[in-house]
């Protein structure tokens, strides 16, 4: 039966040596339990030798499997991390002032982010997006900016222009056309 200290050994070895360490730790615990059972005096020399060879072979196979698992995990991680799928840069106004809180979206990739206080942004569009990606940049009071951007793209500077208010026409009485205006007013008195 594996005791609680044995599990803490597995936890420590797993943190330090990863998947291979867990395998080696399990073999060490198994070998220790075999030795604790004190079975060697009851075995012939040949049986004891076979048991030790079996445990050593099991330890070797476990170590090899752990190394193989480590190589597989690291190569899969490296291949996914090697493809850069980010769009980075900054958002500015026409006076070159940084704009914070600007929404950046890549609808094709389902990615969205907001610019930081210095106008910087980092948008990860993921591996599913095909290049070029549609980038939509918007902020209240500014015109929406849309463009197709190649992925990866770094140090992109996006300039947003202030939205110009629509021209407001006034009627003959000087009222603006933004709401209902009273063209004529008649006052009637009941007598």
Structure tokens at 117: 């206080």
**172 belongs to a structural domain:** no
Q: Tell me, yes or no, whether 101 and 51 share the same domain.
A: no
Block means of pLDDT (10 residues each) for the chain, length 191 residues? 64 72 73 77 87 82 79 68 79 94 91 93 80 91 92 90 74 56 45 49
Number of domains the chain contains: 2
Residue 126 is part of a domain; what is its CATH number?
2.60.40.1120
Q: Could you give phi then psi for residue 161, rounded to 5 degrees?
A: -100, 145
**Closest by alpha carbon to 164, among 115, 99, 94?**
94
**188 belongs to a structural domain:** no
The whole-number pLDDT of residue 110 equals 87
The whole-number pLDDT of residue 180 equals 46
Structure tokens at 63: 């170590």
The H-or-E segment that residue 101 falls in is: none
Q: Tell me, yes or no, whether 102 and 155 share the same domain.
A: yes
Range of the structural domain that residue 63 is part of: 4-82
């Amino acid at each position: 039966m594996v005791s609680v200290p044995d599990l803490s050994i597995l936890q420590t070895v797993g943190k330090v040596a990863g998947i291979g360490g867990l395998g080696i730790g399990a073999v060490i615990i198994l070998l220790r339990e075999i030795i604790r059972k004190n079975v060697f005096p009851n075995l012939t020399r040949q049986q004891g030798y076979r048991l030790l060879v079996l445990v050593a072979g099991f330890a070797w196979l476990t170590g090899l499997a752990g190394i193989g698992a480590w190589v597989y995990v690291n190569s899969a991680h490296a291949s996914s991390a090697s493809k850069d799928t980010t769009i980075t840069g900054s958002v500015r106004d026409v006076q070159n002032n940084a704009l914070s809180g600007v929404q950046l979206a890549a609808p094709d990739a389902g990615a969205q982010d907001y610019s930081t206080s210095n106008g910087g942004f980092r948008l990860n569009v993921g591996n599913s997006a095909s290049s070029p990606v549609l980038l939509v940049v918007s902020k209240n009071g500014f015109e929406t900016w849309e463009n197709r951007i190649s992925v990866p793209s770094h140090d992109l500077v996006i300039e947003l222009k202030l939205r110009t208010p629509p021209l407001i026409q006034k009627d003959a009485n000087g009222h603006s056309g933004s709401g209902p205006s009273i063209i004529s007013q008649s006052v009637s008195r009941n007598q």
